Amino acid sequence: MKLKDSLSFQNIQYELRMKNLLLFSILVIAACNTSENINYDDWQVYLGDNMSSQYSGLDQINSDNVTNLRVAWSYSSNDKHSGNRSQIQCNPLIIDGILYGTSAQLKLFALKGDTGEEIWTFDPFDGNYQSFGMGVNRGLMYFENGDKKRMFYSANQYLYSVDIADGTLDSGFGDGGKLDMKKGLGRDVDKLFLNSNSPGVIYGDLIIMGSRVSESTGAAPGHIRAFDVHTGEQKWMFKTIPHPGEMGYDSWPKEAYQKSGGANVWAGFSLDKERGIVFCPTGSASFDFYGGDRHGSNLFANCILALDAKTGAYKWHYQTIHHDVWDKDLPAPPNLMTIMKEGNEVDVIAQITKNGFLFVLDRETGEPLYPIDEIEVPQSDLRGEKTSLTQPVPSGFPNYARTTLTEDDLADRNEEAYNYAKSIWEQSKPFHAFQPPSEEGTIIFPGFDGGGEWGGAAHDPVNDIMYINSSEMPWRTTMLEVRPQTKGEGLYNIHCGSCHGAHFEGGEMFGNVPTLVNLKDRLSVEQSTTIIKGGKGVMPSFAFIDDQNAEAIYNYINGMEIDEKTVVIDWPYPYRMRGYEKLYAPDGFPMIKPPWGQLTAIDMNKREISWQIPLGEHKELAENGMTNTGTENYGGPIVTSGNIVFIAATSDERIRAFDSRTGKELWSSDLPAAGYATPSTYSVNGKQYVVIACGGGKLRTKSGDSYVAFSL
């Protein structure tokens, strides 16, 4: 068969499939028990739809022809960080054939979906990107009402409303088109860190928003709020750290509502439009690793929280960790689905976790569909701490990542790796998934980033299969007693050391965190002070640190601290964390045996794993015969009716297609930089595309500033 004949045959196949698409869509909608009308030519909502299904009914690209995928177009914003410290984590939206995404410097842009040609760009910082910190955006929110079409997204502390016709601000929204998210929280948080990395969700004329806040001392509260999409007026607020007289108030100390922070929705929301319920996955309370000042279970931290989307009124909650001291935030919006139980259809939410557990709850009541056991767990021996006696562990659905470690799991690929792993193992507290932080050192596994993470899980509503990627990387947390020390040393240890390291070496928690060794050769004290107070790249603002204290930090880093008198640092806890420590062996790979990253398919009706495979490859190990290791990964999968799971996410800088029924890898392609984001798929003029943001900048990989689209 000639090439043109083959293409014609494929087009005929596609036309036949398209004739059945309407009926197929109706069946899918019925299966999902939602009145939402999904147009699969577009990708109009973050993670695919309000149910966070990460699913598309398009099937022009399918398991029979996916090997014919080629690059259709690529687009570069030309704004990556030259030092490999920028990222792009955006799951782009496609509306009427136009793709909307964000760049490494958080510019919003519009492209022609079939060619990648730029239509317009909006820069929220007017070229002054250096002045803002924590520079990541994961997605957008689209609103349409008649001729009014707006794209909402967050950068720094502001929520922007942009006219999609020309990329200009909607002057009627907020203050000239932007809304200051630090206002209206009921407490003065002007000098505290707050932004929104992940998008909110739109319900009617309301835009419901969460936030990212500090995980250390002096954190803002993570209250959930709704704003008018036209004016920016705040319409309701649900206080996740309850005030006196409110439900959950007695799960905190009496004054916690005035000073405690966290319990925030940083990962995004799911929405049942038919029922008018918004589902809110909350994070841990701050300070993440010591709760001596917040005795109790700390509602509504670490909760799946169901609220009335119109009013913010409480409906139900389920807490997945009590009194969290492990930074085990709920990392992604729950998937809304309808599954079978004892021959009956049940509408549920399925929540992935960093621990590799899957919580499945009745959507109306929050009751577990199958038993969730409260197991006894080890207790903290830190002074002043009172950890929970029990923690919930689901037993009805399989774990999708390893949740235990034994000495047999230690790396044995070479003697040096094994000796390192054995020494860490023997120095640390005995492993338990809920072993509290300690002065000896506590191994966290899966790591602080999961297990499951913010890329989310995909759900095929026709076959009720859930697809979850996981990282399996051991970390260690070590608590240090706060002692008298010089001003600069103390301020550095409290505010900087967890990311930049005890010896200024840098780290990987939020990206490729730079070394501060020989800082004075690169930055003056004035330049350093500007960055400390304003933030830069992935580093948040520390606006509350005055010039004198910023200079003390600078002098300590550079070994020229003048004031050698020891002082008691203003730190409200008796302990601090030494730093986020990934447990790599001396050869640069994890101290445990692989797999270090997996992709898992779970049959939600049978409650069993359909297949599970390593995700990603380390080239240097594969060349020496060590294959199927998997890699750490960031960003999630999507699944289509063409029986394909698409995912990038891995540190080997590739995107892959798997047969959704078997897990067999069918296709892969190199990317210009790692795709630490969730892909989108859409159709323009009858042609299906798959697009991925290639931002890199994590896991010691280079930064990128491009989007790449593939088609047949």
Task: Return the higher-pLDDT residue of 182 and 490.
Answer: 182
Per residue in 392-423, pLDDT (tens digit) is 999 999 999 999 999 999 999 999 999 999 99
Confidence class of residue 117 from pLDDT cuts 50, 70 and 90?
very high
Position 494 scores a pLDDT of: 77
**Distance, CA of 148 to CA of 165 (rounded, Å):** 9
Give this prediction's pTM.
0.91
Give the pair of three-digit tokens for residue 673. 């930089």
Task: Return the higher-pLDDT residue of 19 and 45.
Answer: 45
**Distance, CA of 261 to CA of 191 (rounded, Å):** 14
Residue 12 scores a pLDDT above 70: no
**Distance, CA of 327 to CA of 13 (rounded, Å):** 49
Confidence class of residue 493 from pLDDT cuts 50, 70 and 90?
confident
Position 401 scores a pLDDT of: 97
Which of 385-389, 468-472, 527-531 is predicted least confidently? 527-531
Residue 35 scores a pLDDT above 80: no
Cβ-contact 56, 681 below 8 angstroms: yes
Most confident of 187-191, 322-326, 551-555, 563-567: 322-326
> Span 616-630, mean pLDDT?
96
Confidence class of residue 570 from pLDDT cuts 50, 70 and 90?
low
Domains with residue ranges and CATH for the chain: 483-570 (1.10.760.10)
> Span 268-273, mean pLDDT?
98
Confidence class of residue 565 from pLDDT cuts 50, 70 and 90?
low
Cβ-contact 113, 689 below 8 angstroms: yes
Residue 180 scores a pLDDT above 70: yes
Residue 134 scores a pLDDT above 60: no
Q: From 366, 369, 306, 368, select the one nearest 340 (Cα to Cα).
A: 369
> Span 614-627, mean pLDDT?
96
Examine residue 636 and say whether the peptide bond preceding it is cis (omega within 30 degrees of 0). no
> Span 270-282, mean pLDDT?
98
* Average pLDDT for the chain: 92
Q: In what order do the strands lie in the sheet with 465-471?
A: 458-460, 465-471, 597-603, 608-614
Q: Kind of pairing, strands 335-341 and 70-76?
A: unpaired
> Span 69-80, mean pLDDT?
97
Residue 22 scores a pLDDT above 70: no
Burial (0-12, 13-18, 19+ Cβ within 10 Å), 618: buried
**Distance, CA of 708 to CA of 352 (rounded, Å):** 28
Per residue in 191-247, pLDDT (tens digit) is 899 999 999 999 999 999 999 999 988 899 999 999 999 999 999 999 999 999 999
Query: What is the distance between the terminal CA atoms of the chain, rounded to a whole angstrom?
Result: 17
Q: From 288, 221, 215, 240, select the one nearest 540 (Cα to Cα).
A: 215
Position 560 scores a pLDDT of: 84
In the chain, what percentage of residues exceed pLDDT 90?
79
Per residue in 385-400, pLDDT (tens digit) is 999 999 999 999 999 9
**Distance, CA of 482 to CA of 673 (rounded, Å):** 41
Q: Which residues contact 3 (CB under 8 A, 6 or more apart)?
A: none
Residue 23 scores a pLDDT above 50: no
Which of 7-11, 464-468, 663-667 is predicted least confidently? 7-11
**Chain centroid to CA 394:** 22
SS (H, E, C) 695-709: EECCCCCCEEEEEEE
Position 429 scores a pLDDT of: 98
Confidence class of residue 581 from pLDDT cuts 50, 70 and 90?
very high
